[in-house]
Structure 1
């Protein structure tokens, strides 16, 4: 039975731990706050930026998953030491390092984004994520570690906290029939990554040698604009079609003076004012992974309303 060590216990870490445990693996979750261990999942309290502690806690691992999620406005300070510690832990243990990535490194999109799209970000957060992957790939090519990365679009699903999903945070609004205010243009197409598909991709990459040395995209349903996605969710809730409006950028800039998260969103405006679409055809071709059908995603996500209403 393989040992799978997951660093981070947010929605991605938790979903991945649950899937691995369901498949009969020994699962260990490392996080700053720790947790209560069960017969299925062991929890340990570890600072992910402490390379020695991380390597010791990951001892014996076959695969280490990076599911860390620093505060949005602290990526530039928090990610570099965590990323370095994870590479150290992977090198010392010999485990495969599977990182949960995102699309920030690509910068402003010129079309659908695939793993081969150049990492051309000019904003701070995008440069941080691009540097992390380049460092990991350099260590892989030098023979120090074995790495791969999964990149996903914005999360959706009942397992995702409202604060971490542009769609989930609107469920209560839809349920009450109120106006939905969204970031950016409500009508540009976007990809949405269903959290169980994210976990399935991470677990698959960690178990297949063909995944190593490159990044892969999580399969997603055909793109939908925020307006269309929210309309679909409203229908699943039995609510009327929503009134959807984009929050004016000057308003968001003003909010950013007091709210660091809003300031960071303004910094990546390109993600919301032009099509933001992923291409995961390589993941499907090589591993046979396919996105959960959109109607199933909508139905499952709508079930989160009782907790939100």
Structure 2
């Protein structure tokens, strides 16, 4: 039995399909409002902030995937994420389940310093502090408490269907709606994006590779790209020029005073001033046959 915590999100949904197609038909989908994806899926309703519910959701699982997402709301993150993480850690230890933890890069330094698996956690911002604490707690449990876990860390998402992220929302969704894309902060700085189906395939691979456990892995990505180059690829797909607006960081800072979503985004948008260099050499050396989706293919999939 392999279990997905947070199965309703884009990563959880694509992960369920990958596991079903290539690893196991015995899947348990867990969330506040989980829905079956395949006829044989087991569905468990659980509030993971409750330790007993987390235990029942995980009990009987061989591998548990943590793909839990919370709304972009700092007080909610502070109130729930650390408790959820602790409940999942304790349940996995008590039930002897392996844990594959899907992580992000909030805790890294927000400048052009290349990011590797051993980069120090230098969180700036309340959500970044929470993500640093979650990852640190997980590493402690792996080192000192017998937790068998693997961490798969991903940069910003872009992808099809229900993918949520700044670039999908401000760029691709606006192109599909016939509106001018809004480029956050800079159109020339290099950005690193992960195609959400690639992220789910990579996490499934790590979860089913025994010697991957006990380690952190940067999940595979295409080389960094500027928004300028991204829009040039989009123009080839739609067959027309795509005019766009670059929204300076100062505008986001001003809007953050009255717009809660802008205030929540601002913590990560400060990084958009710099090239974002996310190194995945470790993963590609271990899994050289993993195919990373090109930006040309990804953009064509989104826009068509």
Query: Are 1:101 and 1:150, in contact at CA under 8 Å, matched by a contact in 2?
Result: yes
Give the match's secondary structure for 2:255: helix
Aligned mates of 1:156, 1:124 — CA distance in 2: 24
Matched with 2:139 is 137
Residue number in structure 2 paired with 1:44: 44
Give the equivalent residue in structure 1 for 2:222: 221
Residue 208 of structure 2 corresponds to which residue in structure 1? 207
Work out the CA distance in 1 between the residues paired with 2:42 and 2:259.
36
Paired with 2:215 and 2:129, the residues of 1 have a C-alpha distance of 18
Query: Counterpart of 1:18 in 2: which secondary structure?
Result: helix
1:237 CA drift (Å): 2.1
Residue 7 (structure 1) aligns with:
5
Q: Distance in 2 between matches of 1:110 and 1:251?
A: 22
Written as runs of structure 1 = structure 2, the 5 A alignment for 1:1-309 is 3-8=1-6, 9-23=8-22, 24-36=24-36, 38-73=38-73, 74-161=76-163, 163-167=164-168, 169-175=170-176, 178-240=179-241, 242-288=242-288, 289-303=290-304
- Give the Cα–Cα distance (whole angstroms) in 2 for the partners of residues 7 and 172 of structure 1: 27
Distance 1:249 1:293, change over 3 A: closer
- TM-score by length of structure 1 reads 0.90
Contact 1:6 1:28 in 2 (8 A): yes
* Worse overlay, 250-259 or 266-275: 250-259
Whether the 8 Å contact between 2:186 and 2:248 is mirrored in structure 1 is no
Indicate the SS of the match to 1:159: coil
Q: Determine if contact 1:152/1:193 at 8 Å carries over to the other structure.
A: yes
State how many pairs are aligned: 299
Distance 1:174 1:159, change over 3 A: closer
- Aligned match of 1:307: none
Backbone CA RMSD of aligned residues: 1.9
Secondary structure, aligned partner of 2:136? helix
Instruction: Give the superposition deviation at 1:250.
Output: 3.5
Tell whether the 8 Å contact from 1:7 to 1:31 is kept in structure 2 after alignment.
yes
Distance 1:40 1:79 in 2: 30
Deviations 1:190-217, CA, capped at 9 Å, x for gaps: 1110111101111111112222222111
Kept in 1, the 8 Å contact 2:170–2:181? The answer is no
SS of residue matched to 1:117: coil
State whether residues 219 and 283 of structure 2, in contact with CA within 8 Å, keep that contact through their aligned partners in structure 1: yes
Q: Counterparts of 2:95 and 2:104 in 1: how far apart (Å)?
A: 25
Q: Does the aligned pair in 2 maintain the 1:186–1:245 contact within 8 Å?
A: no
Q: Which runs of 5+ in 2 are unaligned?
A: none
Give 1:165 deviation, angstroms: 4.3
Q: CA deviation at 1:177?
A: 5.5
TM-superposed CA distance for 1:35, in Å, is 2.3
CA contact (8 A) 1:156 1:168 kept: no
Shift of 1:168: 5.4
* Rounded Cα–Cα distance in structure 2 between residues aligned with 1:201 and 1:172: 25
- Structure 2 length-normalised TM: 0.91
